[in-house]
Structures are given as structure tokens and as C-alpha cells.
Amino acid sequence: MTNAKNLQELEQENRLLRQILDHISDGVQVVTKDGQIIVYNQTMEKIEGTDSKYVLGYNDTEVYNVFSQDKYIRSEMLASGKPIKNRRMTYHMATGYKVDMVADAYPYVENGELTAFYYIMQDISNINHLQERIMTLSNLLNQEKEQKSGRNPNGTIYSFPDIIGDSPSMQETVQRARQIATSSSNVLIYGETGTGKELFAQSIHNASHFKNGPFIAVNCASIPNTLLESQLFGTVRGAFSDARDMPGFFEQAENGSLFLDEINSMDISLQAKLLRVLQDKTICRLGSQKARTVNCRIICATNKNPLKPDFKEFFREDLLYRLMTIVVLIPPLRERKEDIPLLCHHFIDALNKRYNTRIVQIEDDFMNLLIQHEWPGNVRQLANLLESCICYLDIHTNSLKVQHIPSYLQQQFPTANYQFSANYPENGDLPTLLEEYERKIIEESLRMTDGNIAKAARRLGVSRQNMNYRLKRLAIHTKKR
């Protein structure tokens, strides 16, 4: 009687566990060490598109088509004795049904002997579908942004009229670039970081007979050399794992221009292959011996001076000679400071639209400060500084002042700190001096933001809560906003 009762309890417990397993949102499967499937819940039926009666009791090689990833995972766990987590699995059932999932797999050990493996699985086919949908929508959104931003069908935004500068050095550079644009020769553009090398590259493209073709821009420094080769030359199916027939940038730029920015970052071995393209106008995709003719103009750019002897230490001399048929040298901002007011007004007009501000002038002391600065980051640094000043301003502010330079940027402009260095007590202990210094900084930040505590806190890089604490501690009274 007791044995019968125990058996009944075990059967009841088994039914309960079975019901629990069938209501779990993850797929659960248990396979013996010999490959026999002994547990298979309803979620697994949905994931694999089959019925448990065609799975339970069968060997996995009978259920799954040809290659059993489950068997491969089992061999891994047998070798390591450790579970495998977050393993992506894509396979086909014997019926042809495709499954895409992520699995956690665990070895089951009883009395010191490994007897089975159990798997917890999540269907990700819907996630893949959503990812594809997101990519499609993202591409459509990017296309819409490009249309709104004035991007041309060939992939460019800029042409020569967009280049700002009345200085003799800049006018001479623009004139030379216009002259060489009509040539089919390759071009090497040299300019320090932030001088506008892609601006010139796009302008040259749009003034050339390649203008109706695509403009393909590649930053050689941002792509690992191992990947850059396949991106440039393309691939054929089987060249490496998961390789597909894909055209590279040379083919994508057919009848257009290929802009290779930071060419000095390219690996020496890849430079040799680029030289062959320039000489023969042919490329071979990775994994293929078939030569393909390409017709595109190569425009290269470097932020290292190609005329200096040390440039040849990391760049092939024969490639350099080939590229230096035409060289465009962009002057740094420190050599054309008379262009700074023009650039400032151009950037301010654009920033007013972006931030809905109403800046109409730059005060003389601020402009003098900008003109005196050396600008190691050139035009890009100037644009970033102006944006940092404007994005914190109140909508009613109509002029830029030295005080509007954010505190974290003031160290770049020593003379901008004069308002903080004046009128400090000559005597006093360090805590008193520091407190006075802190008070003046906070008061100045509040003044620049018209008493707006949140904006003043953002300017100083602290939270509003932290700012309120300091206001209370220093007895600074302001109208809270």
C-alpha cells in the first residue's frame, strides 16, 4: 500500500513538473549522453515547429538535419565539464524547418557520472525580423535626413562655394583645387586635423567630370587593417567564414571618386595593393583570381606632412610618388586668422537654427581672444567651441561674451580667466581662499545663465542637487529657476 501511494505521489509530482515545464516561456530540452531526447516542453515544440511525439525518445540525429549542433555542444561540455551560455544556434530540422535561437547548455552529473545534458533555449527569429525591420527603417530615416540636409544624390554635401575664407592663403588653395578638379589624376590632400580635408575632397569631386558618379568616403584609421582590405577590394563567397559576394569600395565608386582619408594609417602591405590599383586600374576581390577593371578617381588625405622625411618611415615611397602627382595643401587656421570672423558668423547662423537662439554679434574681447588663439584643432575646434558656448545660453541672449566659454574649456584660453583672477583677498588661509574662489565661479555662472540654477549647474559639470547644496553652504541667494 505504501509503495502504491509513493508511486501515485511520484506520478502526481511528475505531472506537476510537466505542467510547469510546459508553461515556461523558454524552451527546455534534456538529452542523454548518448543523444536520446527525454524531455521536450511545449515551448520547444513552438520554437522548432514540431510535435513532441516526433522528438521524445528519438536520437537527436533522427530529429535534426544532417549536422547536430547539440552533438557538437555536448562534445564541448564533455571536454571542458563546464556549461555553455548564450550560444547562438541556427539549424534545420529534418523536416526542413529553420530554427534560430540562443541556448544555455548544462551537463547533468549524478553520483559523479555525467548522464545527460539539459538546454534552456530562447527563440530569436522574431528579434532577427525586428532587427531587419529596424535596419530598413534606419536606412529610410538616413535617406530622409540626407535629403533634408541637402545631401546630393552622389553622396556629397559640399562644393567650392561652401568653403569659407577670404585670406590669400585660402583663396590660393581654393583656386588650385578648382584647377586640378577637371583633371582625372589622383589627388593627395594634406591638412592638419580639423582643416576641412573632406570638404575639399567633395568640392573637387563636384567640380570634376566624375560628379555624376558616387562619392565614397573611407576613413582608413577607423577600420582595422584586417577588415579594410575586404572593404576596399570586396569578397567572393567562400573567401572566409560567412563571406558573400560583395563589391568593395573601389567597385562601389565606379565612375565616381573614392576618398581615402588618413591614408597614412594604412598598413604597408595594403599600400602595395593600392599601388597596383593605381598602376593597373584593376582589382581582385578577396578569394578570387579574376581581375576586375575599375574606373574611379582616387582622392587621398593625410594629416601628416608628406613632404617631411619621416613620412616615408611609415609610407611606401613609390606609392607616395604616385599620389603626389597633384597635392593640395590646406593652410591651418593659425595661418589665416583673418578668416576667423567669417567662420564665426557662419557657424553662429547654423547654431542659431539648431538651438533656437538669437546670437547676432560677438563682443570685441571675445573675438580678440579667438583671433589670438593658436587653434591646434583648427576649424573643427572653433566650431565645437562656439557650439559649447551657445548650447547653454538663454534664448534672450543676443551676443557672445568671454564669460560664455564653459569652465571646462577656459583652461585653453588663459586670458578668459581674468574675471576669476581679479579682486581676490591677498591674505587668508587656503580654505577661505578656496571658498571665495568657489563663490565667485558659481556667481559668475549664475550671472551668465540669468540665474537659471539648472543651466549654471550644467555649465560647471555638477548636478542641480549639488549646486543647491553649494548655494546654501556659501549663502548665495538667487531666484530659483
**Residue 419: predicted pLDDT:** 47
Q: What is the mean pLDDT of the chain?
A: 84
Question: Which residue do the cell numbers 569578397 mark?
Answer: 235
Torsion angle of alpha carbons 469, 474, 477, 481, nearest 10°? Answer: -30
Which part of the chain has CATH 1.10.8.60?
335-473
Pinpoint the alpha helices (H) of 52-166. Answer: 60-63, 69-80, 125-148
Cβ contacts of residue 24 below 8 Å, gap of 6+? 41, 43
**Numbered ranges of CATH 3.30.450.20 in the chain:** 11-126
Q: What is the pLDDT of residues 91-134, one digit of tens each?
A: 777 777 778 788 889 998 888 888 889 999 888 776 655 655 66
* Cβ neighbours of residue 218 closer than 8 Å, sequence gap 6 or more: 228, 231, 232, 249, 258, 259, 260, 261
Contacts of 211 (CB under 8 A, 6+ apart): 154, 205
Does the pTM exceed 0.85? no
Q: What letter does residue 51 receive in the DSSP assignment? A: -
Query: Is residue 136's pLDDT more than 90?
Result: no
Strand 327-329 relative to strand 187-190, pairing: parallel
User: Is the four-CA dihedral 143, 147, 152, 153 of positive or negative sign?
Assistant: positive
User: Shortest CA distance to 198 belongs to which of 385, 379, 342, 387?
Assistant: 379
Q: Identify the CATH assignment for 11-126 out of 3.40.50.300, 3.30.450.20, 3.30.1490.20, 3.40.50.720.
A: 3.30.450.20
Considering only the top CATH level, what class is 160-331? alpha beta
- pLDDT number for residue 334: 94
Residues carrying CATH 3.40.50.300, the chain: 160-331
- DSSP annotation of 373 reads S
Q: Which CATH fold topology does 335-473 show?
A: Helicase, Ruva Protein; domain 3 (1.10.8)
Task: Give the integer Cα–Cα distance in Å for 170 and 333.
Answer: 10
Q: Which residues does 337 contact at the CB level (< 8 Å), separation at least 6?
A: 167, 371
Using CA atoms, how far apart are residues 248 and 251, in angstroms rounded to an integer?
5
Which residues are 99's β-sheet partners? 91
Higher-pLDDT residue of 134 and 183 is 183
First to last CA, the chain: 81
Q: Name, in order, each residue with C-beta under 8 angstroms of 349's C-beta and a sequence gap of 6 or more.
A: none
CA dist 117 and 25 (Å) reads: 20
Residue listed under C-alpha cell 580654505: 431
**What backbone torsions phi and psi does residue 91 show, to the nearest 5 degrees?**
-155, 175
How does pLDDT run across 224-270, given as a tens digit for each residue?
Answer: 877 888 899 988 876 555 667 889 999 999 999 999 999 999 998 89
